[in-house]
Amino acid sequence: MKRIAILGSTGSIGRSTLNVIENNPERFQLLTMAAGSNTEAALNDARRWKPKVLSLASEQDAEKVRKQLKDEGLGEIEIAHGQAGTVRVATHPEVDFVVSAIVGVAGLKATYEAVRAGKEVGLANKECLVAAGELITAEARRQNKPLLPIDSEHNAVHQCMRGGRMNEVERVWLTASGGPFLNTPTSDFEKITVEQALNHPTWKMGQRITIDSATLMNKGFEVIEACRLFDMPPERVKVIVHPQSTIHSLVEFNDGSILAQLSVTDMRLPILYALTYPERIESDLRFNVLDLKRLDFAPPDPDKFPCLRLAYEAAAAGGSKTIALNAADEVAVAAFLKREIGFTDISKVVERTMNETPDRHPESIEEVLAIDAQARSLAQEQLPRHVAR
């Protein structure tokens, strides 16, 4: 029986993970969970799953949930909150496997502490690898524990890499759906609305990653994620647009062989793979090969999607530049969702913040979080409301 902690239990990946656990009760037990601010969902989960620890983002929400559960006779569930709460969930001594699926840098400390505590970690939260991948992968190597990618492309690469040795890998091809604006002319980008940007063609996901998929920043983050997970320089990690999202990624070996992974577009499959690795177990997540009509591929357009270029630049520099890339994007996407800036402003905020962030190579998570905070305030200064104040 594998005992599981979920960081980000109320999100899209969190729900899919709970579904995988529910479908395999003989293998997996939900032990602890960290939610954000959705107290209704957190309460329902507490009743259904009776975790040992439940963490909420704020102290106020934690208090509310604690009181309600006590009234219902569920007072034995330990309620925690904030960063310390996520760390408690991730490092509980009885936890074997941590699914890291909080969105953004909010999940970084708990993910790092999970690795440091020697837990097996399944990584959906790519932002923590973008901000602190060097530190996290170094710690995982020290612990001699694998970091199992849940992000579908990296999960595909992980699977394909089992077909050869690391030193035989020539390059990695990450596939991108291209997002909702693949065929929109650049001249129309200024007018893109929040609703249009949230309408992803192939995946249903949280808001941040959906907007990042529309700007291709998500793919840029994934390039950095691949460099760090698979210890490869950015020039050997390529992006190719593949609108059907059927091939989840490809690995090219030195003899010219290319291995690809195909499956349904359902995150429960990479989650199941990570949870059962190195085994594979039966599932009903089937892909009908006879439905495979066509597979299209095209290179991404760097002029239309400047975020991808910025991510490659950050990947080459490493350290504070990738921290700034993520922090500024987090701020800019939130501002776009609040309709404070336009779609094309996102890359501008990120570029200026990156340029203004001095080159540094942090040696601890605390240093990473300090650089992240500085980059956030630099990004905030670019927003119109800052000027208006």
Interface ranges with ligand NAD (CB under 6 A): 8-14, 34-36, 38, 57, 86, 101-103, 106, 124-127, 151, 203, 205-206, 209, 267
C-beta closer to ligand NAD: residue 102 or 272: 102
Closest residue to bound Mg ion by CB: 151
Residue 126 contact, options ligand NAD, Mg ion, none, Cβ 5-8 Å cut-off depending on partner type? ligand NAD
Residue 120 contact, options Mg ion, ligand NAD, none, Cβ 5-8 Å cut-off depending on partner type? none
Residue 146 contact, options Mg ion, ligand NAD, none, Cβ 5-8 Å cut-off depending on partner type? none
Residue 323 contact, options Mg ion, ligand NAD, none, Cβ 5-8 Å cut-off depending on partner type? none
x/- contact string, 152-191, with Mg ion (CB under 5 A)?
Answer: xx--------------------------------------
C-beta closer to ligand NAD: residue 116 or 268: 268
One of 113, 134, 151, 351 touching Mg ion (CB under 5 A): 151
What is the amino acid identity at position 72? E
Residue 227 contact, options ligand NAD, Mg ion, none, Cβ 5-8 Å cut-off depending on partner type? none
- Starting from the edge strand earliest in sequence, which strands make up the sheet with 28-34, in order? 78-81, 53-56, 28-34, 2-7, 97-100, 120-123, 147-149
Residue 206 contact, options ligand NAD, Mg ion, none, Cβ 5-8 Å cut-off depending on partner type? ligand NAD
Quick count: other Cβ atoms within 10 Å of Cβ 296? Answer: 10
C-beta closer to ligand NAD: residue 184 or 265: 265
Closest by Cα among 337, 335, 314, 316 to 325: 314
CA distances (Å), origin 341, targets 113, 218, 347, 383 = 35, 19, 11, 7
Which pairing describes strands 169-176 and 247-253: parallel, antiparallel, or unpaired?
antiparallel
C-beta closer to Mg ion: residue 137 or 152: 152
C-beta closer to Mg ion: residue 54 or 130: 130
Please state the closest distance from residue 151 (CB atom) to Mg ion, in A: 4
Residue 205 contact, options ligand NAD, Mg ion, none, Cβ 5-8 Å cut-off depending on partner type? ligand NAD
Rounded CA-CA distance 275/272 in Å is: 5
Q: Are 379 and 345 in contact (CB under 8 A)?
A: no
Please state the closest distance from residue 124 (CB atom) to ligand NAD, in A: 3
C-beta closer to Mg ion: residue 151 or 330: 151
C-beta closer to ligand NAD: residue 85 or 243: 85
C-beta closer to Mg ion: residue 86 or 152: 152
Residue 86 contact, options Mg ion, ligand NAD, none, Cβ 5-8 Å cut-off depending on partner type? ligand NAD
Rounded CA-CA distance 376/335 in Å is: 12
Please state the closest distance from residue 385 (CB atom) to ligand NAD, in A: 22
Residue 99 contact, options ligand NAD, Mg ion, none, Cβ 5-8 Å cut-off depending on partner type? none
Which pairing describes strands 247-253 and 237-241: parallel, antiparallel, or unpaired?
unpaired
Please state the closest distance from residue 387 (CB atom) to ligand NAD, in A: 27
Contact region for Mg ion (CB under 5 A) — 148-156, 163-171, 247-255, 279-287?
148-156
Number of residues that bind Mg ion (CB under 5 A): 3
C-beta closer to ligand NAD: residue 10 or 357: 10
C-beta closer to ligand NAD: residue 164 or 206: 206
Contact region for Mg ion (CB under 5 A) — 50-58, 140-148, 149-157, 267-275?
149-157
What is the amino acid identity at position 242? H
Q: Return residues touching Mg ion (CB under 5 A).
A: 151-153
